Amino acid sequence: MSMLFALLSLMHVGAEPSEASRRDLCVLGHMVMADLPSGREAGSAYIETDPSRDELMKLCPTLARALPAGYLAADDDARSRAAEHAPTPGVQRPSALIVTIAIPSIAQDGRSATVMVTTECSGLCGSGTEYRYTRTHKTWRRQGKPRARWVS
């Protein structure tokens, strides 16, 4: 019986989300963006919006047009600066912090969800933070403070 359950689980992983679950995933993505710490100095905080790099943005393209104040859409220059993890000779480029929001994971009972948010930044810097949400009558509400899962 457990083998059948495992097989069914694997088949479900690749399934397209229903329109209702897609809507929930996009609402959660929007809520996570609203819950992010305010953008740092102007021009240094970015959100990964490229649908080929971020599955959430591919699933919910309208999120890329609703970035929170202080955040810009990541571009190749920002990605390049965030990937500089050691000082380079010559003129130092401005730092960059890129936030990537994973596709939310909704519990089977539909009452709770977790969302991983990762950051990559210039220097030896990066993190993974877990946001938890519970379903309310109308939408989702963050449950407690975001929890750091890893830091570099």
Q: Is 64 helix (H, G, I), strand (E, B) or coil?
A: helix
Q: What is the mean pLDDT of the chain?
A: 85
Neighbours of 67 (CB within 10 A): 18
pLDDT digits (tens, 9 = 90+) for 24-67: 999 999 999 999 988 666 568 999 999 999 899 999 999 999 99
For the segment 78-106, the average pLDDT, to the nearest whole number, is: 88
What pLDDT does residue 42 have? Answer: 57
At 20 the pLDDT is 67
Which of the residue ranges 60-69, 86-95, 110-119, 125-134 would you say has the lowest mean pLDDT?
86-95
DSSP state of 107: -
Please state the pTM of the whole predicted model: 0.82
Contact (Cβ atoms closer than 8 angstroms) between residue 96 and residue 46: yes
Nearest 10 degrees: CA dihedral of 110, 142, 97, 43? 120
Phi, psi of 118, rounded to the nearest 5 degrees? -115, 150
Q: Average pLDDT for residues 7-34, to the nearest whole number?
A: 72
Both structure tokens of 149: 């899962």
User: d(Cα 34, Cα 29) in Å, to the nearest integer?
Assistant: 9
Does 12 have pLDDT greater than 50?
no
pLDDT at 19: 74
- Domain locations in the chain as residue ranges: 19-151
Q: Is the pLDDT of residue 133 over 80?
A: yes
Average pLDDT value for residue range 88-94: 79
Return the pLDDT at 16: 61
Which amino acid does the sequence have at 26? C
Q: Is the predicted pLDDT of residue 7 greater than 50, yes or no? A: no
List pLDDT tens digits, range 59-88.
Answer: 999 999 999 999 999 999 999 999 988 777
